[in-house]
Chains A and B, each alone.
Chain A
Amino acid sequence: MFQNFGEMLMLLWRTAWALPMTWRQRRKVFDQLFEIGNASLLMACLLSFFIGGVLALQTGPVLAERGLTNFIGQIVGLSMCRELAPAMMAMLIAGRIGSSMAAELGSMTVYQEIDALRTMNINPIQYLVLPRLVAISFALPVLVVFSILVGWLGGAVVSVSNYQIAISYEGYFNSLRDGIDLIDLVNGLFKSAAFAVVIGLVSCHQGLHTIGGPRGIGRSVTKAVANSIILILILDYFLTRLLMHLDR
């Protein structure tokens, strides 16, 4: 475990060192961005709409019983911004994009494509890891913004249409506007950028350390997704504590 952690830190260091080469690899970064957006945007919107909806459905009636329906926009808004959108999108991306990164790099490792790059004096970190890590670090925060907006909308639709809550759109969005600051959005974006680096690192590391044939690739994919999700949840706790501390 500690060896893996050390290797991932080394990979992060080498990728950070290669960052000035990003412009040169821009075509690959755009390809990756397109792949991430194409594979995830629709699913992210669908997921976020229902997360916002469920949140309103769970909290709305309880608030209504106590005459606090005016706070529902605030609750949905804050939860989506600070916690649910970054964490849920990160898990979605770990499953959809992290797995595909691990599989692609794993297959390149097993079938000696990485060795071939090295014999041509092409650095696999610059050529393969850097574009993926840059693309995911940019794409996940953007997806989180979409997710927050769609989640707010999902919460609004449920709050207005549910007879137990029965608040107007105006009331919902007024409550949301009163309860949300720019810092809450920044909070969520900061978390999502950190999660993106974790997903990219774990997935690329697993892919580059794949051994064996197709079975090894399968193992790498499973490990990439499982380890990413575990690390996201652990990191989420510590980032939340840090950000709460900074908020004070």
Chain B
Amino acid sequence: MNATAQQGVSLQARDVCKSYAGQLVLKGIDFQVERGEVFVLMGPSGSGKTVLLKHLIGLEVPDRGEILIEGQPIHSPGVVDRYRLAMVFQSGALLNSLSVADNVGLYLSEHRLHPPETIAQIVAEKLALVGLKGIENKLPSELSGGMKKRVSIARALVIEPQLILYDEPTSELDPLIAVTIGAEILRLNQRIHVTSIVVTHDRDLAFGIADRIALMHEGELIALGPPDQVKADPHPLVQRFLQADFRFNPESITP
């Protein structure tokens, strides 16, 4: 691995539009993520965050506009193969027919990057990093939702990515593990300067790890900037999202 490979990559969304069945889901999204930045995408459910994330890693092709990775269109032939990109899916997206170890080591074994013994060692290391020692032989069906998410994070870490996208990395996790995952995102960022894009509803996580935050609403970016700037943004939708009290209040229940 060379020195540049260890650094993150820059990413740019330029006027990205996408519609499904005639419904416009992304309405001209524009932003740039710098190398090594932790960029957080927030917004209510259905605002298009996950769809945008899939565009950013090249899984979806925009109807209009483009995604540039290091200044080159991500869908140009061979461009995406030049970089190590990883995504942590909301559901984990582990291959159900493979054991945890095979899932985590899949990238290394399929690309034949190391002999099996080294892969086993790397897998054990990454699993320990997400607090899951000794579950190598289990099948995904034997894991809880939170454990699947952590295995998925370990699978992404194995790639030693230059860009890592997290789709709701702390949903379904208990608060203690959520804090650990947040810390791990930051540690990775500091250690190998990976560019991280995190989609989350978790305001504590977002404001704890973000270099910049973008807030989405109905397929548009309504705020973008460093956490303090977004917090102070006078846009009513931004304030409503950031200041809403999500805590459960039993007194609000009417019999």
- Please give the residue numbers on chain A whose beta carbons come within 8 Å of chain B beta carbons, in ascending order: 104, 107-108, 111-113, 115-122, 127
Contacts and interface: CB of A to CB of B under 8 A. Distances in A.
B54 A113 contact: no
Contacts of B96: 107-108, 111, 113
B106 A119 contact: no
Contact of A119 (B85, B91, B97, B111): B85
A115 B91 CA distance: 12
Closest 6 CB pairs of A and B: A116-B93, A112-B93, A119-B87, A120-B107, A122-B110, A112-B89
B20 to A, nearest CB: 10
Interface in B50-65: 54, 57-59
Contacts of B107: 120-122
Contact of B111 (A112, A116, A121): A121
Given A108-B95, A121-B81, A116 B110 contact: no
A113 B94 contact: yes
A229 B254 CA distance: 58
B59 A122 contact: no
Contacts of A120: 86, 106-107, 110, 155, 159
Among B97, B106, B110, which residue has the most Cβ atoms of chain A within 10 A?
B110
Contact of A115 (B54, B86, B159): B54
Interface in B2-59: 54, 57-59
Contacts of A111: 91, 93, 96
Nearest to A121: B81
Nearest to B81: A121
26 contacts: A104-B97, A108-B95, A112-B91, A112-B93, A113-B94, A113-B95, A113-B96, A115-B59, A116-B87, A116-B95, A116-B152, A116-B155, A118-B58, A119-B59, A119-B86, A119-B87, A120-B86, A120-B106, A120-B110, A120-B155, A121-B80, A121-B81, A121-B111, A122-B107, A122-B110, A127-B110
Contacts of B159: 120
Contacts of A104: 97
Interface in B174-215: none
Nearest to A31: B97
Contacts of B93: 111-113, 115-116
Nearest to B159: A120
Contacts of A127: 110
Contacts of B152: 116
A86 to B, nearest CB: 30
A148 B52 CA distance: 55
A203 B97 CA distance: 19
Contacts of A119: 57, 59, 85-87
Contacts of A116: 87, 89, 93-95, 152, 155
Contacts of A121: 80-81, 107, 111
A112 B51 CA distance: 13
B60 to A, nearest CB: 10
A119 B165 CA distance: 10
A112 B159 CA distance: 18
